[in-house]
Chain A
Amino acid sequence: MTAVDPVSVEGRLRSFQSITDAALSRLDDRDLLAELLDRTREVLRADTAAVLLLDFSSGHLIATAAAGLEEEVRQGVRIPVGRGFAGQIAAQHRPVILDRVDHTTVLNPILWAKGIQSMMGVPMVAGGKVIGVLHVGSLTPRKFTAGDVELLQLTADRAAAAVQSMTAQADRVAAAALQRSLVPSALPAIAGAELAARYVPGSGAIGGDWYDVFCLPSGELCVAVGDVAGSGLAAAVIMGRMRSALRAYALETTDPAEVLGKLDRKMQHFEPDALATVLYAVIEPGLDQMHLALAGHFPPVIARPGQPAALASVRPGSMIGMGLQARRPVSTLPVPPGTLLCFYTDGLVERRGELIDDGLDRLCRAVTAQPAEAACAAVMGALVGNEPARDDIALLMVRRQAGVEGDADA
């Protein structure tokens, strides 16, 4: 094949740019990649074109879309970064041209079995990171030129931006759906207690705040509140795992420190990079006492009838994932009839340019021993008001009813 003159490169470039961003934005990711590959094959007069996207957790490039080489996708081809043709492009962050395609240069047997003679591939880069590889191939021997590389890189840049924005969008939707499924929409009905809750996502990405309320077969009422460091889908997934692990350990023992200890051991082994604060409380059947342990979480606020509300007196325990082995302290606190327990995450009390203790004082002043729903409304009104929250806020009120039958004042 002869070298392509600059005029025709420009012409091809123009024809390629006819795929406008507006047109692309109407396609979903599969259609978008298919469209880009078809157009790429056409303007470069190539026989095959394929996109491999990087799976960050495994470090493999995974065949995601292909034209003229559909079996690559159907067979789920995976190439480790650093190995073979595509693996080198991703590892070295630069285009690669192959004039010989066989087992010495290409890892994926589909490519040489197909009879591809020449190949050219470029990295797909978004936000300074390689997110995949785009390559084209020719069934007849061909010398790819610098102009060809330039054109392919242009396509790859466009595809990378589109893929990244679609991935981010899909992650946001998935994280929001996961978060909704993990925060109970209906709180359990507990004889002698009333519950109310609020959950407000922060203005940034979905965070990893959650709360959980459940009863044990032996009758204890259990409350967990937590905050996973990080945001988006990754944090929501870890939150889901922690929530179900905590429930499982709760069935084994009513000692809250033991439950947190087991949860910590599980997380350190299976999710060594995760870090989270968790509060876990076990309220005895009959609701007279609460056993409470903290893993880096703020203590609850307790309002007993006729007394000002105060932070529960409990010594701090280290966060889940911090790496400490020490058993966390447990406090046993009386819960006389009419007492309101207020559990929350840091988004409720932390404000920039202010001491944490000022935020906690403000919360204590806003909490009074009143019905749970009214208490939630009062606290959100006093601490959040009309301000959009930067961070997630989770708030859970548990009130032991004052009347003998439990409904005298509800």
Chain B
Amino acid sequence: MPDVSFQVEMAGDVPVVAAPGDIDITNAAALRTALLEAAGRGRMFVVDMSRTQFCDTAGIHALVAAHKRAGDDGSEVRLVVTSATVLRIFEITGFDQVVSCFTSLDQALAAP
């Protein structure tokens, strides 16, 4: 399994995690770690999936865990999603009904 880790960067006071191009079983655990770290840091955080073209159930699992943690902490997760495949997976899994998706980082940060 490749040794991967993901950094949490700050956009102002909002933590932003840049998700990789493919999210699958080989990197979902590392992504989950970064997301849970970001989830504990403020009133909202952003997962920037603008590079992401593939996200399987392992990836959804990491995102759902972060969404639940954020909910428990009174925080909110926002996603930046541009790939039609990823949006389709979100639709099939019902994930689009529980999180807010935006088409750019600026939009995600600016939304009320």
Query: Which residues from chain A sit less than 8 Å from chain B, CB to CB?
Result: 204-205, 207, 227, 229-231, 273, 275-277, 295-298, 316-319, 321-324, 326, 346, 350, 352-357, 390-391
Contact = CB atoms under 8 A, between A and B. Distances in A.
B62 to A, nearest CB: 9
A322 B89 contact: no
Contact of B98 (A317, A323, A356): A323
Interface string B10-26: 00000000000010111
A355 B84 contact: yes
B88 to A, nearest CB: 5
B88 A357 contact: yes
Contact of A352 (B54, B64, B93, B94): B54
A353 B68 contact: no
Contact of B93 (A204, A273, A319): A319
Contacts of A319: 60, 64, 93-95
Interface in B69-94: 71, 84-85, 88-89, 91-94
Given A277-B57, A346-B57, A356 B88 contact: yes
Nearest to B83: A355
18 contacts: A207-B25, A229-B60, A229-B61, A273-B65, A275-B61, A295-B94, A318-B94, A318-B95, A318-B97, A318-B98, A319-B94, A322-B95, A324-B97, A346-B56, A353-B53, A355-B84, A356-B85, A356-B88
Contacts of A275: 57, 60-61, 64
A350 B56 contact: yes
B58 interface: yes
Contacts of B25: 204-205, 207, 231, 391
Contacts of B56: 346, 350, 391
Given A318-B93, A322-B95, A324-B98, 9 more contacts: A229-B57, A273-B65, A298-B92, A319-B60, A319-B64, A322-B64, A322-B93, A324-B94, A350-B54
